[in-house]
Amino acid sequence: MMSFKQFLMEGETLEAPALAEFVVKNCKEFLRETNFQISHGSDIRHIISPRLYRGLGNFSYNTGYILEGDRKRFPVDSSPQLTETLDEYFTQKFGYPYRKKGVFCSGSPTFSSNYGNVFMIFPTDGYDCVWSEEVEDAYTALDFRKGGEYPVFARRICERMGVEDPFVSLRKGTVPEDVVGKVEELAWAQWDKIVSEWLRKETPYQDGNLLQAMTYVTKPEIMLRCKQYVAVPIRSGYAYEFVDEMVELSSQI
């Protein structure tokens, strides 16, 4: 996971009034798409339009950030194989490697809290996104391999593709211990091919419609493509100052 020092090297911190001004001037498309509305008060709950969230590790709630969006990221949990498979698909279909360069966020603060302290996100103008109504979280659905578990979508996808689940013998525990490692290696390689074919056949991801993604019932992960984005803590005195300033600037939105 990126350290706080590394994070600051790639971004900029601003006082709350200046950050609010930056949002109003540079995030107009996002504010329009979400029909941004705010009522008087000093709490983010007074932002009554849908909000976009991102978990940012242990980063401080005492300030807000302008961060680079179009930069290479290094997946913490997902395997290199899944990352490459998904990005080959995303690049061919949408023209951008969202797994390696996208900004991961969600319409759910609870989902985002799995990845650290939660911030509200405002992408700068010219953004795009991809998301899926079916895949709430690609890691859990397609790549989960902790504690002897296997991807939760394996049975479902294999059934729909008309192929055998490569993990079935491993789940049943019928593989001799001395060859489990080799069988797992072969199963994951086969699964990677199945996922690749499934992506091309069923095209479960769509681009655009960020507001729909933010408000969709399952609150799926959203991968943003943007030059920069603003991150505002959801609590602390800084958040209150930001909300106060946004109220003052609301006539400009």
Check residue 44 and give its pLDDT: 74
Residue 190's identity, in one-letter code, is: Q
Report residue 156 as tokens: 């479902």
Check residue 186 and give its pLDDT: 92
d(CA 129, CA 144): 24
CB atoms within 10 A of CB 221: 25
Beta bridge partners of 106: 53
- Show me where the domains of the chain are located: 11-135+204-252, 138-202
Confidence class of residue 158 from pLDDT cuts 50, 70 and 90? very high
Q: To the nearest 10°, report the CA torsion of 31, 7, 86, 183.
A: -150
| Cα-based distances in Å from 200 to 93, 134, 163, 193, 205 | 9, 15, 16, 11, 10
Would the pLDDT of 146 be above 70? no
Three-state DSSP class for residue 109 = helix
d(CA 210, CA 224): 9
Report residue 196 as tokens: 């690749």
d(CA 156, CA 218): 18
Considering only residues 49 and 253, tell me which one the structure prediction assigns the higher pLDDT: 49
Confidence class of residue 10 from pLDDT cuts 50, 70 and 90? low
Q: Give 90's contacts (C-beta < 8 A, 6+ positions apart).
A: 96, 97, 98, 99, 130, 205
Per-residue pLDDT of 82-131, as tens digits, reads: 899 999 999 999 999 999 999 999 999 999 999 999 999 999 999 999 99
Considering only residues 4 and 249, tell me which one the structure prediction assigns the higher pLDDT: 249
Would the pLDDT of 41 be above 70? no
d(CA 10, CA 163): 45
Residue 117's identity, in one-letter code, is: N
Beta bridge partners of 230: 66, 122
Per-residue pLDDT of 183-236, as tens digits, reads: 889 999 999 999 999 999 999 999 999 999 999 999 999 999 999 999 999 988
Kindly state the average pLDDT of the residues 63-86: 86
- Expressed in percent and rounded to 5, the helix, strand and coil fractions of the chain are 45, 15, 35
* Edge-to-edge order in the sheet of strand 205-207: 103-105, 222-225, 128-132, 205-207
Kindly state the average pLDDT of the residues 149-173: 88
pLDDT above 70 as % of the chain: 93
d(CA 124, CA 226): 7
14-18, 37-41, 66-70: the lowest-pLDDT one: 37-41
pTM for this model (two decimals) = 0.89
Alpha helices in 132-229 (DSSP H): 138, 154-161, 168-172, 180-202, 210-215
Would the pLDDT of 25 be above 80? yes
DSSP 58: T
DSSP 226: -
- Among 115, 110, 3, which Cα is nearest to 56's? 115
Would the pLDDT of 9 be above 50? no
